[in-house]
Amino acid sequence: MKAYLVLENGKVFEGEYFGARGEVTGEIVFTTGMTGYIETLTDPSYYGQIVLQTFPLIGNYGIISEDFENVNVGVKAYIAKYPCKTPSNFRCEDNIETFLKERGVIGLRGIDTRALTKIIRENGVMNGKIKAEPPVDSDYEEIAKYSVKNPIAAVSAAAAVSLSTVDKSKSDISPAVRRIALMDFGAKQGITNAFLDRNCKVWAFPYNVSAEEIMKIKPHGIMLSNGPGDPADSGNKVIIETLRTLMRTDVPIFGICMGHQLLAIAHGYETRKLKFGHRGANQPVKDTKTGKVYITSQNHGYEVIADSTQIKQFTETGFCSFINVNDGSCEGMDYGNSFSVQFHPEACGGPLDTSFLFDKFLERINVYAERRH
């Protein structure tokens, strides 16, 4: 069935539906991953966005529920040049078209994805609409007005929940069970798994939890998850104030992606929107202390302005710990007992070059725990 992609700048692409049929409007972003499409589809950080895969062949190994980052589909719609109808993999449970159709997610195939990517690279991310008929004037009005509303609230956990029971067989990994409070801004399952693999006990809290509720479990560490939207959005003010209260407790904090950005704002730094963001599994970052370069998985449209001087009196000054090799943007901050990174060290679709950061966090937790006693 024929389908059209209408861009905010007036450009129209003609392709075909796959997955669900209908109309959908969203912000169009591209990701460069050749694999990891399952993790992309189920990543809550893509809430409100139409995701374009730059690699043309998508779906070759099918759909594998064990690899989901969330039980829900994160993307608002999905664009791929050649989605695979007959995947082949011993773990495969279904094909990508059936997966999208069953979940009511619209897919678009057969358009010139290379041309669309170039438009976004040259002009920046923009809104667009997928529909069955050629565009009319009202479509452009709708596209221009579109914005993502309260995305973190839409994807966060509804209530606090314990996600783990301690596995005594893994006691050799960590000599003491550490309690991790996970603030869920749209958390990926990979973050929880990274702590469970290290014999930690994890409690997930909704985005609007109070600092007092978190401290009731006497956490050894606080994890700030990934999530969608603009970190400086007015709807995040309560989160930022909660983080400032938690910072005063001296409990080590580790932030990833949105968590990195919100923690930076709580420390007095500012953020700004990137032209087309960093999305994919081939993003190089450099450790500013050692000069070592790591290949990372990323999914974000905003950056922390690391040279900001607006440090509030109740914070300690941090420093930029990682930079993006391609554009020099900030990819990590270190505040002493707490730190954060813009990329994803838990990336289940790979690469896993920076998974050691979870061990680094536990080392800081151990120092904190020893200091308390």
Does 297 have pLDDT greater than 90?
yes
pLDDT band of residue 82 (cuts 50, 70, 90) is: very high
Q: Is 230 helix (H, G, I), strand (E, B) or coil?
A: coil
pLDDT band of residue 373 (cuts 50, 70, 90) is: low
E strand or H helix at 83: strand 82-83
Per-residue pLDDT tens for 204-241?
Answer: 999 999 999 999 999 999 999 999 999 999 999 999 99
Q: C-alpha distances in angstroms, 29 versus 32, 120, 155, 224, 283?
A: 10, 8, 19, 24, 16
Same fold, 2-148 and 153-372: no
Instruction: Single out the catalytic residue among 220, 278, 300, 344.
Output: 344
What's residue 314's pLDDT? 38
Report, as an integer, the average pLDDT of 32-50. Answer: 96
What's residue 309's pLDDT? 40
Domain spans in the chain, listed from the N-terminal domain onward: 2-148, 153-372
Q: Is 346 in the active site?
A: yes
Secondary-structure percent of the chain, ordered helix, strand, coil, rounded to 5: 25, 30, 45
What's residue 310's pLDDT? 39
Give the pair of three-digit tokens for residue 308: 């900001």
What's residue 348's pLDDT? 84
Does 315 have pLDDT greater than 70?
no
pLDDT band of residue 173 (cuts 50, 70, 90) is: very low
Report, as an integer, the average pLDDT of 148-159. Answer: 93
Does 311 have pLDDT greater than 50?
no
Report, as an integer, the average pLDDT of 35-63. Answer: 97
E strands in the chain: 2-7, 12-19, 24-31, 49-53, 57-58, 77-80, 82-83, 106-109, 126-131, 161-162, 179-183, 201-205, 221-224, 253-256, 270-287, 293-305, 319-324, 330-334, 339-341
Report, as an integer, the average pLDDT of 151-178. Answer: 73
Give the pair of three-digit tokens for residue 159: 């209530």
Domain 153-372 matching CATH 3.40.50.880: the answer reads yes
Architecture of domain 2-148: 3-Layer(bba) Sandwich (3.50)
Per-residue pLDDT tens for 95-144?
Answer: 999 999 999 999 999 999 999 999 999 999 999 999 999 999 999 999 99
Instruction: Single out the catalytic residue among 257, 320, 330, 348.
Output: 257
Q: Is 212 in the active site?
A: no
C-alpha to C-alpha distance for 314 and 212, rounded to whole angstroms: 19
C-alpha to C-alpha distance for 236 and 241, rounded to whole angstroms: 9
Report, as an integer, the average pLDDT of 289-308. Answer: 90
Q: Is 257 in the active site?
A: yes
What's residue 244's pLDDT? 97
Per-residue pLDDT tens for 260-285?
Answer: 999 999 999 999 999 999 999 999 99
pLDDT band of residue 307 (cuts 50, 70, 90) is: low
pTM of the model: 0.93
Report, as an integer, the average pLDDT of 321-341. Answer: 95
Report, as an integer, the average pLDDT of 160-166. Answer: 76
pLDDT band of residue 165 (cuts 50, 70, 90) is: low
- Widest CA span in the chain: 68
Instruction: Single out the catalytic residue among 8, 69, 97, 346.
Output: 346
Chain-wide mean pLDDT for the chain? Answer: 92
pLDDT band of residue 50 (cuts 50, 70, 90) is: very high
